[in-house]
Structure 1
Amino acid sequence: MGGRSFLKIHPQDNALVALKDLPEGTIIRCDGRVIVLRQEVKAKHKFTLYALSKDAEVYMYGVVVGKVNEFLEEGSLLTVDNLRHATGGFHMTDRKLEWQKPDVTRFKDATFLGYHRSNGQVGTANYWLVIPLVFCENRNVHTLKEALEEKLGYAVQSKDYSYEVDLLIEKYKKGATVEELLQIDFSGEKRKIKSNKLFENVDGIKFLTHEFGCGGTRQDSDALCGLLAGYITHPNVAGATVLSLGCQHAQVSILRVEIEKRDPHFDKPLYIFEQQQEGTEDLLMQKALKATFCGLVFANSQVRQPAPLSKLCIGLECGGSDGFSGISANPAVGLVSDIVVALGGSVILSEFPELCGVEQELSERCVDENTAKKFIQLMKSYNKQAEDVGSGFYMNPSPGNIRDGLITDAIKSAGAAKKGGTSPIVHVADYPELANRQGLNLLCTPGNDVESTTAEVAAGANVVLFTTGLGTPTGNPITPVIKVSSNTATYQRMQDIIDINCGTIIDGEESLEEAAYRILDYVIAVASGKETPKSVLLGQNDFIPWRRGVSL
């Protein structure tokens, strides 16, 4: 694409994407037509290929992504003022399960080094969890963190900014003005914290706090127990310490039922302590400390061993998307998805508000009518919930999305769905169910990056591929989150949080296939513990359960 100034994504499209800034008056030649741009069109934004009458449908990716509010001449810039969200609707039809499997020759014998669990799953990491069943126990979880994390060598190697503060204080005491303080050069040696892990085979202890477990609906507390059970039974987890107050809605008995649903033969170490039964805080904490330490001893006995790529379960996520996401990073990840599925692995596509407008295609790809019906029902009920409170899927795009070319939810969704590739959909799961069947799984989650990533991991994802156009530091406590940039400018500007650049596709430096191979090579290295994504290095342990309501 590097030599081109625009792109027509699908033969049916009547809107084109600018690949670079195009001045007013630029001549565009497409499909035997010659048009002149009526306004300047910035890179990532869209313009019309034909003249469109008021209320005419606009097509991108071969689907309806909006309707125009007024007559538009050919070569007109599409904006939030002249284009409104619209989709083509959807209904039950016949299955369309034929798909072109990608060539997997390069990866058919590939393996990664993972942690083999007794239930046949394989982890890409080895963590111990400390979890509260209710927010009342957050303080005790923090206390355990303070006692254990640094002593055992798991403190995050955060950047130390005390040097900068000391320099500001020094200059201020010497009478520096505000203008002089703003011009201070912070280039200097900083203290670096070093720590040595006591347990070499344990990647860390993760302390998950939240604001749930009581005070809400029973549906909320049941969903929380399901989510936590997903983390406890996760292949990246060796075992867990759970703190309960005792009287909350999220009862230990519910947690145990949810664990059994996900792993009927669960045999990991699980230590549960109820404060109202243990008595004093000292007794509770002493027991929890001893149990956790002994759990770490057990976890340290686990070692990485080769596993086929069929043991990968890749969560597909996007956040801070832009007008290039749907033509570079997302389709590259989509090809990775197809390769993993063809090799017998699992992928999870979530963020249901960002599937608005592609329901017809996705429902037709469901393996049977019941699966398709479940998907359609979840989409309709979720959107109705949003509409009932004066919102709707059409309000999903953020100001950043809109600024960078995603001006309707349908445009955003059509590009976001490309992460899921082209394979048949084998399973549709509602939050917080498992979604780790071999093949492509759909998981009902919000579009909110952290809530959705939190849910994908609970559903079984042992690696997350996270595409971004604008840049985001989102991570997860137990599953490596790999950031994939849609454009080179963002990658170069934010290399501290982004791992892979797919702007090379836009720049014409590599093909979609070459980018996909590069991504999967990196996934294998991360899954083997040979590479560490930026989100893990930064200790970006984002964990937000979804309170089952309207979250876009």
Structure 2
Amino acid sequence: MTKIIRLDEKDNVAVAIKGLVKNELVPFEGDMLEILDAIDEMHKVAVESISDGSPIIKYGQVIGFAEGDVKSGEHIHVHNCQVGDVDKDYAFCSKAVATGYVPEGDRATFEGYRRSNGKVGTRNYVGVLTTVNCSATVARFIAAELNAPGVLDAYPNIDGVIALTHETGCGMRTEGEGYDALRRTFEGYIRHPNFGGLMMVGLGCESMQVENLLEECGLHQNDTFLAYTIQEVGGTKAAIQKGAAALKAMLPTINTAKREPCPVSELTMAVQCGGSDAFSGITANPALGVAADILVRNGGSVIYSETPEIFGAEHLLTQRAETEDIAEKLLERIVWWNEYTRASGFELNNNPSPGNKKGGLSTILEKSLGAQAKGGTTILTDVLHYAEPLKTQGLVFMDSPGYDPVSVTGQVASGANVVCFTTGRGSAFGFKPVPSIKLSTNTAIYNHMRDDIDINCGTIIDGEESMAEAGQRIFEYVVDIASGKESASEVLGYGDAEFNPWKIGAVV
């Protein structure tokens, strides 16, 4: 059995598929390689000598530079692989190959909720959205009253009531990037097709004023959308009573929603990775990328995100940009992030997390190159600001932090109605009102956290299926989940606590 694999012919490292013992001889491309160190599974081994300061290459790309001379057979990790300046070939639009779309009559379908505005939801939730942290308690009490035993029994088409609470909305400027990002987030959730009805509750004196928000977003109250403040109705108890009564009055209308066949062109899939390891870029991420390509070819959309985690691999996206303007928009976000992190005393090219390192990832460049695979291979059709509404179909990139709850909050606000989340170390994550699917990079973590993970992509490294077969399996599972099947995180009850808008700027 193969114990190490080289991912690209240009690579001077290979990845250990199994743990390696010092001084053992392992087969490698028709020869035998002597292993000079004990090397854990998923970690890198040099397959040729690398001189001090020379590039270390994986995926056919530079992931770092040797610190000291490295012998063939030695372990390569944080002790001898350091980040440095890398020359990137941005080559705008040079690999933007036209997408081969499936004929409309042959495209896949799913069972979704067609809303009056034409959008399609994959779930039918009721939301209680807060404009400010001060109204969080009222929202939670309203949701708890509606979710109490027996209340929703007569409404089988409603998936539940969610309180969307957060820590911001006040102590901030009433204009600028931070305000705009939060306003876009709220508007995206209010308009999201996974909500059959929604209520917005404010305090009354906060920076994010309810009345201003509605006016700025062109929103109007109706029989399934209500907005009010605690101060205007007379305090906490009155606000809870008003909200609970209003939602109960909405339930019969919300319950009339029925699933119907819809083309998968109405699906927008958010792709994420968390708790990554060195197998992420070999199994789960590229397999998800295959599924993303299938969805795009069927007319659907994919939102790829986490700007700090494309750092070092952004040139692979500019090469696939549909236009030079789109490529420039992406690089503008990289410049913004460099300035943003510098002002905070932080560096964008920071090392991966402790869990990433334990899983064999040595540099942010290596992590980014593996992460970019989940976006598939189709043309990049747009670059969005955080929580900006989707304007094009196909693959888009949305600017966001790498912190998963913040990133997914923005993706959902942009229009994602299903989330796919790859993990190597094991992640516990859900995201109501949108179903979240978790994919493991290796079989060991799938077996160890079986209740949390939907799909095992370790089958690829185990030799049980091809990348194409895994990608097709993921796509079919996404369609099933979008049609109402519960994901693992939904069965466990995850998703009530992850709503987390990006806080940009000073809190004063």
Q: How far apart, CA to CA, are the structure 1 residues paired with 2:342 and 2:489? A: 35
The one-letter amino acid paired with 1:532 is E
Q: How far apart, CA to CA, are the structure 2 residues paired with 1:515 and 1:436? A: 30
The one-letter amino acid paired with 2:19 is D
Which residue, 250, 266, 269 being the options, matches 1:311?
Answer: 266
1:255 match: 213
Instruction: Report the more deviating stretch, 201-210 or 140-149.
Output: 140-149
User: What secondary structure does 2:76 align onto?
Assistant: coil
User: What secondary structure does 1:143 align onto?
Assistant: helix
Q: How far apart, CA to CA, are the structure 2 residues paired with 1:278 and 1:396? A: 50
Q: How far apart, CA to CA, are the structure 1 residues paired with 2:101 and 2:473? A: 15
1:145 match: 143
1:165-180 correspondence to structure 2 within 5 Å: none
1:286 match: 241
User: Which is greater in Rg?
Assistant: 1
Pair 1:238 & 2:170 matched: no
User: What secondary structure does 2:261 align onto?
Assistant: strand
Q: How far apart, CA to CA, are the structure 2 residues paired with 1:59 and 1:254? A: 52
Q: Deviations over 1:61-107 (max 9, x none)?
A: 12111011111111211121111123534465341244485796999
Q: How far apart, CA to CA, are the structure 1 residues paired with 2:505 and 2:67? A: 32
Deviation at 1:141?
1.1
Q: How far apart, CA to CA, are the structure 2 residues paired with 1:106 and 1:337? A: 18
Q: Percent identity?
A: 38
Q: Deviations over 1:161-197 (max 9, x none)?
A: xxxxxxxxxxxxxxxxxxxxxxxxxxxxxxxxxxxx3
Is the Cα–Cα contact under 8 Å of residues 92 and 320 in structure 2 kept in the other structure? no
Pair 1:118 & 2:116 matched: yes
Pair 1:390 & 2:345 matched: yes
1:17 match: 15
Is the Cα–Cα contact under 8 Å of residues 449 and 474 in structure 1 kept in the other structure? no
The one-letter amino acid paired with 1:546 is W
Deviation at 1:221?
3.8
1:38 match: 36
User: What secondary structure does 2:349 align onto?
Assistant: helix
Deviation at 1:295?
1.9
Pair 1:49 & 2:71 matched: no
Alpha-carbon spacing, 1:398–1:254, altered in 2? closer, same or farther (3 Å): farther
**Structure 2 portions without partners, runs of 5+:** none
The one-letter amino acid paired with 2:36 is R
Deviation at 1:523?
0.9
The one-letter amino acid paired with 1:383 is N
Is the Cα–Cα contact under 8 Å of residues 14 and 48 in structure 1 kept in the other structure? yes
User: What secondary structure does 2:68 align onto?
Assistant: coil
1:377 match: 332
Is the Cα–Cα contact under 8 Å of residues 18 and 44 in structure 1 kept in the other structure? yes
1:464-479 correspondence to structure 2 within 5 Å: 464-479=419-434
Q: How far apart, CA to CA, are the structure 1 residues paired with 2:403 and 2:107? A: 36
Alpha-carbon spacing, 1:277–1:389, altered in 2? closer, same or farther (3 Å): closer
Q: Deviations over 1:463-504 (max 9, x none)?
A: 001000011111112000000000000000101111110111
2:170 match: 214
2:68 match: 70
User: What secondary structure does 1:367 align onto?
Assistant: coil
Kindly report the root-mean-square deviation, in angstroms, between the aligned alpha carbons of the 2 structures.
2.3
2:408 match: 453
2:487 match: 533
1:173 match: none
1:344-423 correspondence to structure 2 within 5 Å: 344-395=299-350, 397-423=352-378
Alpha-carbon spacing, 1:227–1:336, altered in 2? closer, same or farther (3 Å): same
Is the Cα–Cα contact under 8 Å of residues 439 and 455 in structure 2 kept in the other structure? yes
Q: How far apart, CA to CA, are the structure 2 residues paired with 1:379 and 1:74? A: 35
Q: How far apart, CA to CA, are the structure 2 residues paired with 1:358 and 1:408? A: 12
TM-score (norm 2): 0.93
The one-letter amino acid paired with 2:253 is F
The one-letter amino acid paired with 1:213 is G
Is the Cα–Cα contact under 8 Å of residues 92 and 318 in structure 2 kept in the other structure? no
Q: How far apart, CA to CA, are the structure 2 residues paired with 1:253 and 1:89? A: 50
Pair 1:481 & 2:479 matched: no
Q: How far apart, CA to CA, are the structure 1 residues paired with 2:313 and 2:212? A: 36
Instruction: Report the more deviating stretch, 205-214 or 277-286.
Output: 277-286
TM-score (norm 1): 0.86
2:458 match: 503
1:136 match: 134
Q: How far apart, CA to CA, are the structure 2 residues paired with 1:105 and 1:43? A: 43
Q: How far apart, CA to CA, are the structure 2 residues paired with 1:100 and 1:31? A: 35
Q: How far apart, CA to CA, are the structure 1 residues paired with 2:76 and 2:132? A: 48
Q: Number of aligned residue pairs: give it.
A: 502
Is the Cα–Cα contact under 8 Å of residues 222 and 250 in structure 1 kept in the other structure? no
1:6 match: 4
Q: Deviations over 1:494-538 (max 9, x none)?
A: 011111101111111111111111111111111111x21111122
Deviation at 1:238?
1.4
Which residue, 464, 467, 475 being the options, matches 1:512?
Answer: 467
User: What secondary structure does 2:342 align onto?
Assistant: helix
Q: Deviations over 1:137-179 (max 9, x none)?
A: 112112212322114556xxxxxxxxxxxxxxxxxxxxxxxxx
Q: How far apart, CA to CA, are the structure 1 residues paired with 2:49 and 2:114? A: 59
Deviation at 1:439?
0.5
Q: How far apart, CA to CA, are the structure 2 residues paired with 1:106 and 1:323? A: 38
The one-letter amino acid paired with 1:536 is E
Alpha-carbon spacing, 1:87–1:418, altered in 2? closer, same or farther (3 Å): farther
Q: Deviations over 1:220-241 (max 9, x none)?
A: 3442222121111111111211
Alpha-carbon spacing, 1:464–1:471, altered in 2? closer, same or farther (3 Å): same
Which residue, 377, 385, 389 being the options, matches 1:430?
Answer: 385
1:318-357 correspondence to structure 2 within 5 Å: 318-357=273-312
User: What secondary structure does 2:126 align onto?
Assistant: strand
Q: How far apart, CA to CA, are the structure 1 residues paired with 2:324 and 2:159? A: 43
1:185 match: none
Is the Cα–Cα contact under 8 Å of residues 350 and 452 in structure 1 kept in the other structure? yes
Pair 1:295 & 2:293 matched: no
Instruction: Report the more deviating stretch, 319-328 or 388-397.
Output: 388-397
Q: How far apart, CA to CA, are the structure 1 residues paired with 2:213 and 2:65? A: 48
Deviation at 1:35?
3.3
Q: How far apart, CA to CA, are the structure 1 residues paired with 2:424 and 2:106? A: 31
Instruction: Report the more deviating stretch, 142-151 or 205-214.
Output: 142-151
Q: How far apart, CA to CA, are the structure 2 residues paired with 1:247 and 1:265? A: 21
Is the Cα–Cα contact under 8 Å of residues 4 and 14 in structure 2 kept in the other structure? yes
Is the Cα–Cα contact under 8 Å of residues 436 and 461 in structure 1 kept in the other structure? no
Alpha-carbon spacing, 1:419–1:87, altered in 2? closer, same or farther (3 Å): farther
Deviation at 1:391?
2.0
